[in-house]
């Protein structure tokens, strides 16, 4: 979906840089040992949908200091540069070009968590999906540049990557993805448009496919981090409801590398995510998740939980991820990454 909180980046991800006034980062210790000073956080782009949600979550915490720019100066490059220089970690919630500008303004003076599309596949940036693979958390914790993942890619990657790694799904298989999200995923312009609709327009705009040129900006990170050889075909839709999302991947049994049942696929996912605090793999067919045979996209709203499900029979499978596009899909993922970068428990301030 058009990303509500976008941002940008630079290079030198694991580089250590001097901080004249603060003790972060420590060069020779794991970030779990960082507690010398309260971490100072600046959100560049706090007025956006995701920026507001991140700020709301952080203001309730006592283990960090939230630096805030005067609203009248939020587009002033000099004022922003001063805020970036004063921060230990800057969270960028900006359009891609503005985020690239922010990274240039920051230079080496602070660490950056970028919520835009700009650096998700860029060299020198660590992809901020802790559940991606062994060692990903440590890379995030020690990085100076972290890219927060897109909303749709998280569900796709967490469904597909374990199956490719387990040898069930060939990396060369051309995959098809269907996605559905609430309109908050489009940021303030789409939110304001949908909330202003009269009854006739609501009916006409109820559910709409988009990205029909098949060049959605989330596709490059989907392909790279899932481990696909070919570009997936991604068909997203926006519904007339505020938040919550589904990502679905249809498969035929004959497309698998080795014979498998829905239970086999579900077990592969369950083993992979057994120790993950925010990933739930539901029983095959997810009977308790259905309401009269229907699957609601909103059940995980206001949490950082992502639910993975496997539906189907001997010949056809439907892999599904359900989560909050504003939670695990955006601000919740940012808080999870920020916790790792600060060296605190990654679940701090998040609801499972």
Q: Of these residues, 5, 93, 110, 151, which one is catalytic?
A: 151
Active site residue 300: no
DSSP for 212-264, please give it: TTS--TTHHHHHHHHT-SSPPEEEEEEESSSS-EEEEEEEEGGGSSS---HHH
Dist. CA 222–CA 149, nearest whole Å: 10
- Lay out the sheet containing 64-67: strands in order across: 64-67, 39-44, 89-92, 111-114, 145-147, 126-127
Q: Which two tokens stand for residue 114?
A: 């970028």
CA distances from 54 to 48, 49, 70, 103, 225 (A): 10, 9, 17, 19, 25
Dist. CA 69–CA 170, nearest whole Å: 49
Sign of the Cα torsion 98, 103, 109, 112 reads positive
Dist. CA 196–CA 81, nearest whole Å: 36
Strand 233-239, strand 207-209: pairing: antiparallel
Helical (H) or strand (E) element with 82? helix 77-86
DSSP lists the bridge partners of residue 181 as 238, 245
Please list, residue by residue across 182-212, b when 16 or more beta carbons sit within 10 angstroms of its beta carbon and e when fewer do: bbbbbbeebbeebeeeeeeeeeeeeeeeebe
Question: Residues with Cβ < 8 Å from 216, sequence gap 6 or more?
Answer: 152, 234, 236
Whose tokens are 């609601």? That residue is 296
Q: Which residues are catalytic?
A: 151
């Amino acid at each position: 979906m058009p990303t509500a909180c976008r941002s940008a980046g630079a290079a030198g991800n694991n580089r250590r840089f001097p901080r004249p006034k603060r003790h972060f980062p420590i060069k020779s210790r794991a970030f779990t040992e960082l507690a010398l000073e309260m971490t100072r956080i600046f959100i560049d782009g706090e007025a956006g949908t995701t920026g507001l949600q991140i700020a709301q979550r952080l203001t309730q915490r006592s283990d960090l200091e939230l630096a805030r720019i005067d609203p009248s100066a939020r587009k002033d490059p000099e004022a922003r540069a001063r805020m970036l220089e004063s921060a230990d970690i800057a969270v960028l919630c900006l359009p891609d070009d503005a985020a690239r500008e922010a990274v240039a303004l920051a230079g080496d003076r602070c660490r950056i968590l970028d919520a835009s599309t700009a650096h998700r596949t860029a060299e020198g940036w660590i992809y901020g999906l802790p559940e991606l693979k062994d060692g990903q958390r440590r890379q995030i914790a020690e990085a100076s540049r972290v890219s927060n993942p897109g909303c749709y890619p998280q569900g796709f990657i967490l469904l597909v990557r374990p199956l490719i790694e387990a040898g069930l799904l060939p990396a060369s298989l051309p995959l098809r993805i269907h996605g559905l999200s609430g309109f908050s995923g489009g940021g303030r312009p789409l939110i304001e448009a949908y909330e202003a609709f009269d009854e006739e327009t609501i009916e006409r705009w109820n559910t709409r496919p988009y990205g029909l040129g098949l060049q959605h900006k989330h596709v490059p990170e989907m392909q790279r981090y899932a481990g696909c050889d070919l570009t997936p075909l991604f068909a997203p839709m926006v519904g007339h409801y505020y938040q919550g999302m589904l990502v679905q991947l249809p498969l035929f049994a004959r497309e698998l590398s080795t014979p498998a049942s829905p239970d086999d696929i579900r077990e592969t996912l369950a083993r992979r995510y057994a120790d993950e605090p925010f990933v739930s793999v539901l029983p095959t067919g997810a009977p308790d998740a259905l309401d009269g045979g229907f699957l609601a996209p909103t059940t995980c709203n206001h949490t950082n939980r992502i639910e993975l499900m496997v539906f189907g029979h001997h010949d056809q499978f439907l892999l599904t991820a359900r989560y909050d596009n504003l939670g695990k899909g955006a601000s919740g993922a940012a808080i999870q990454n920020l916790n790792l970068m600060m060296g605190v428990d990654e679940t701090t301030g998040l609801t499972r």
